[in-house]
Amino acid sequence: MRWRTLATAVLLAAVSVAGLGTPAATAADRGGLIPAADREIRFTADGTTAYGTLHVPAHRAGHRLAAALLLPGSGPTDRNGDEPPALTPGTLAQLADTLGGDGVMTLRFDKYFTGRTGPGAYQGDPGRLDLDAFTRQAAAAYTTLRDQPEADPHALLVVGHSEGGLQALLVARTVRPAPAGLALLAPQDARLLDLLAAQVAGQLDQAVAAGQVTAAQAEANKAGVSAAIAEFRAGRPADTSTLLPPLAALLNALFGPNNARFVRSDDAVYPPDVARAIRPGTRVTVTCGTADTNVPCATTPPLLAALAHARTTGPGLRTLDGVDHFLHPAGTPVNDHTLAPAAVAALHEFARPWKR
């Protein structure tokens, strides 16, 4: 998961859907091949219009396609999986291209405070956002996708990256029809602040190895972060005064008025508990990269056990050797627009039953 000072989510409940653009009528009338195309999609909820991109692969007129909702990671991440200007890996755009090659249409959208959607109803008050807002928006986007004329309602999928993996599980419990498949790519598989503590501990260990801090300083800061998290969870002010300045700034931002509601609501969810409620028979892929320091493979077993308890099917775990959190080959610059071959292969395997 990626950390930024602004927690984002886009909210919806009642769905008003408007798809902009239609396939070429002349091709449809002839029953010929309709070329691949992107359409701007909008849906309105809670007084706010959210915007996204529908990618429709080339297909025969009248033919229904498997359709996947793409969900991004944490932070102000837009429809392409970017947080411009600094972070632009294009993760979701690449997922759309890869799945499009298998004949799967996709919808990806801008969350609140990103892209064309902007802050919407939360202008000036981002502190009202919580995890449910993400889930409501994602559920409405799913309904939008379901209602597109090219979509096969029996082949609806959800693909989530990082925090989007947790959102995929949450959405799958609430939408109808339930998804036929879920691809959880480097998913959030533990409570939010437990993952944060583990990430901080790993970064401190790296700093010790690099001679940037002493071992004693690292241990003191690990303990300080754990104590601050415990205080926040108990509803008390978190003392960050003894932490290294970058760590203090991070926690102060997360626990501050703009983010506390979202962080508290996300941290209350244990992803394996959500996974146990997934519909039996759902085809599921879970990936973990051996070079992923944000959500390491060691944290995955409880989620996998919960999915097995739910009697899901499909590829299951795919361990991606040498792949980082952004699904890049390890060492690739973060803003390179590339997916590791192992990640592409996992997506192809997931989509195989619906390939056209």
CA distance 220 to 224: 6
**pLDDT tens by residue, 279-336:** 999 999 999 999 999 999 999 999 999 999 999 999 999 999 999 999 999 999 999 9
**pLDDT tens by residue, 56-72:** 999 999 999 999 999 99
Pick the closest to residue 350 from 284, 279, 287, 280 (CA basis). Answer: 284
Structure tokens at 152: 């096969």
**pLDDT score of 25 more than 60:** no
CATH class of 16-190+272-354: alpha beta
Q: Where are the alpha helices (DSSP H) in 161-292?
A: 163-174, 192-209, 215-233, 245-255, 260-267, 271-275
**pLDDT tens by residue, 195-241:** 999 999 999 999 999 999 999 999 999 999 999 999 999 999 999 99
Cα 210 vs. chain centroid, distance in angstroms?
32
**CATH 3.40.50.1820 in the chain, residue ranges:** 16-190+272-354
End-to-end C-alpha distance for the chain, whole angstroms: 33
**pLDDT value at residue 46:** 78
**pLDDT tens by residue, 160-196:** 999 999 999 999 999 999 999 999 999 999 999 999 9
Pick the closest to residue 285 from 272, 303, 266, 269 (CA basis). Answer: 303
